[in-house]
Amino acid sequence: MHRPVRLWRNLRLATLRPDLPGLGTVEAAALAVRQGRIVFAGAEADLPPGFAVDEAVDCGGRWALPAWIDCHTHLVYGGDRAHEFEMRLAGATYAEIARAGGGIAATVAATRALDAEGLAAASLPRLDALLAEGVGTVEIKSGYGLTVESELAMLRAARRLGELRPVRVSATYLAAHATPPEYAGRNADYIAEVVLPGMVRARAEGLADMVDGFCEGIAFSPAEIATVFAEARRLGLPVKLHAEQLSDLGGAALAARHGARSAEHLEWLNPEGVAAMAKAGTVAVLLPGAFYTLRETRRPPVQALRDAGVAMAVSTDANPGTSPLTSPLLAMNMAATLFGLTVEEAIAGFTRNAAKALGLEAETGTLEAGKSADFAIWSVERPAELVYRLGFNPLHLRVFQGEAAS
Ligand code: DI6
Ligand code: FE
């Protein structure tokens, strides 16, 4: 059977190939795609003689980069917390907001009120915002249901979003996000009666690709996270962890010791945690949207991560409370402006390193033969414009698995 080849030509490529310096750029380039996979990425002049092409698309000399990978989102939830934003602007503290029934508990109530279809419908506009800026893969967590059935409904909604739009969805079980009101002060009971049984169900029903937790004084202790991770290991599910966001509990080192794919936030990461992540190959996922929204002052130790060779990813952390951000471009600008990443690091953080954080580095995140043809074509003179500009979206075309998607 003939398998047609489409040649996307007259491009400048930022391949993000790890074996090339910087962004791995190639001028006068082309991408050849067959059955949704890249079969050639490089200088058009280097195409093999007689290379058969069924259709050619002239891309007008524009830049093509790997489609963004948003590797840490809480995209699925009910309701919103805009009123809390007003309360915070009026000077209310997080404790006061929580005592007034705000915070995660407010989103839990609104989420429990929706079934999987309702959650998917409520979340679709947020997904569309990501896709409009060139996202090809998105990680979506549970963590606002906090009962077995509602956590599973959130994961079904995440899977449903991947059916409703041309996008790859990685679903993460995050029941260990907060202890619900009915288990207040009883973390161990909540873990035993909800988190662990829900994880077994999520695994059995193919609803979760990874397991996450929130290791923080206001959430779960390292020992409690270790219990969650032990069950994930028993079920063969990879792990990741919200760690050192507001304090230093040694969460990143705990995650690294458990072979976590990533540790995330990391504002309070200590040198032992950096060393443990470097040794384990754990990716540092930086979330500047939460740092910005919370008006934090302590930054993740980016230079120490650089010096230790820890791969750094960047993500929106799209969530209703601490990071109501659904703009990869702004997230990259924040990572550069607020955390000191270079343009190349910010772009690698939303492509190659984000793919590694999700265990998808063989599938996407760079423009190389053999990978899924997930790329975005941009009307810019140089890739730096994608990180530099604020509130400007120069996307010309998003391509997912070889097909124009927007
Ligand atoms: N860290 C955060 O900043 C969010 N979750 C987490 O583990 C907060 C989520 C929310 O406020 O709704
Ligand atoms: Fe988060």
Work out the percent of the chain whose per-residue pLDDT is above 90.
95
- DSSP reduced 3-state for 184: coil
Question: Does ligand 1 come within 6 angstroms of the Cβ of 293?
Answer: no
The Cα-based distances of 337 to 287, 291, 292 in angstroms read 13, 12, 11
Q: Which atom of ligand 1 is nearest to the CA of 144?
A: 12
- What pLDDT was estimated at residue 11? 98
User: Which ligand ends up closest to the CA of 172?
Assistant: 2
C-alpha to C-alpha distance for 300 and 269, rounded to whole angstroms: 7
C-alpha to C-alpha distance for 342 and 329, rounded to whole angstroms: 14
CA 338 to chain CA centroid, nearest Å: 19
Give the type of residue at 254.
L
First-to-last C-alpha distance (Å) of the chain: 29
Distance (Å) from CA 319 to ligand 1 centroid: 7
> pLDDT per residue over 148-163, tens digit each?
999 999 999 999 999 9
C-alpha to C-alpha distance for 146 and 167, rounded to whole angstroms: 26
Q: Which atom of ligand 1 is nearest to the CA of 214?
A: 7
94: Cβ contacts below 8 Å, ≥ 6 apart = 103
Minimal-distance CA residue to ligand 1 atom 4:
322
Q: At what angle do helices 222-235 and 196-204 cross, to 10 degrees?
A: 30
Question: Does ligand 1 come within 6 angstroms of the Cβ of 215?
Answer: no
Best residue for ligand 1 mutational test, from 285, 319, 323, 325 (most atoms within 8 Å of Cβ): 319
**Apex 328 CA angle, 324 and 334, nearest 5:** 80
pLDDT at 94 over 80: no
C-alpha to C-alpha distance for 131 and 125, rounded to whole angstroms: 10
User: Which ligand ends up closest to the CA of 293?
Assistant: 1
Minimal-distance CA residue to ligand 1 atom 7:
214
> pLDDT per residue over 29-68, tens digit each?
999 999 999 999 999 999 999 999 999 999 999 999 999 9
In the 3-class helix/strand/coil scheme, how is 288-355 assigned residue by residue?
Answer: HHHHHHCCCCCCCCHHHHHHHCCCEEECCCCECCCECCCCHHHHHHHHHHCCCCCHHHHHHHCCHHHH
Strand positions, DSSP E, 142-247: 168-176, 210-215, 240-243
> Cα-flanking dihedrals φ and ψ of residue 405, to 5°?
-115, -10
Contact 8, 44 (CB under 8 A): no
Question: Does ligand 1 come within 6 angstroms of the Cβ of 172?
Answer: no
C-alpha to C-alpha distance for 65 and 71, rounded to whole angstroms: 17
Token pair recorded at residue 366: 């760079």
User: Per-residue confidence at 102, pLDDT binned at 50, 70, 90?
Assistant: confident
pLDDT at 316 over 90: yes
Contact 214, 178 (CB under 8 A): yes
The stretches of 26-147 forming alpha helices (DSSP H) are: 82-89, 94-99, 104-112, 116-132
Distance (Å) from CA 52 to ligand 2 centroid: 46
Contact 231, 199 (CB under 8 A): yes
Give the type of residue at 243.
A
The predicted model gives 317-340 an average pLDDT of: 98
C-alpha to C-alpha distance for 209 and 197, rounded to whole angstroms: 16
Question: Does ligand 1 come within 6 angstroms of the Cβ of 104?
Answer: yes
- What pLDDT was estimated at residue 99? 77
Minimal-distance CA residue to ligand 1 atom 9:
321
pTM over 0.85? The answer is yes
The predicted model gives 303-324 an average pLDDT of: 98
> pLDDT per residue over 229-258, tens digit each?
999 999 999 999 999 999 999 999 999 999
Question: Which one-letter DSSP state was computed for residue 192?
Answer: I
- What pLDDT was estimated at residue 296? 93
Distance (Å) from CA 172 to ligand 2 centroid: 11
> pLDDT per residue over 270-299, tens digit each?
999 999 999 999 999 999 999 999 999 999
Minimal-distance CA residue to ligand 1 atom 2:
322
Side-chain-side CA neighbours of residue 38 (13 Å): 24
Token pair recorded at residue 48: 């093999």
Distance (Å) from CA 232 to ligand 2 centroid: 19
The stretches of 216-294 forming alpha helices (DSSP H) are: 222-235, 251-257, 271-280, 288-293
Distance (Å) from CA 318 to ligand 2 centroid: 8
> Cα-flanking dihedrals φ and ψ of residue 296, to 5°?
-70, 165
The predicted model gives 122-149 an average pLDDT of: 98
Contact 172, 213 (CB under 8 A): no
Q: How many CB atoms lie within 10 A of CB 164?
A: 13
Distance (Å) from CA 245 to ligand 1 centroid: 10
Question: Which one-letter DSSP state was computed for residue 80?
Answer: -
Q: Which residue has the tokens 């959430």?
A: 219
C-alpha to C-alpha distance for 255 and 265, rounded to whole angstroms: 13
Question: Does ligand 1 come within 6 angstroms of the Cβ of 324?
Answer: no
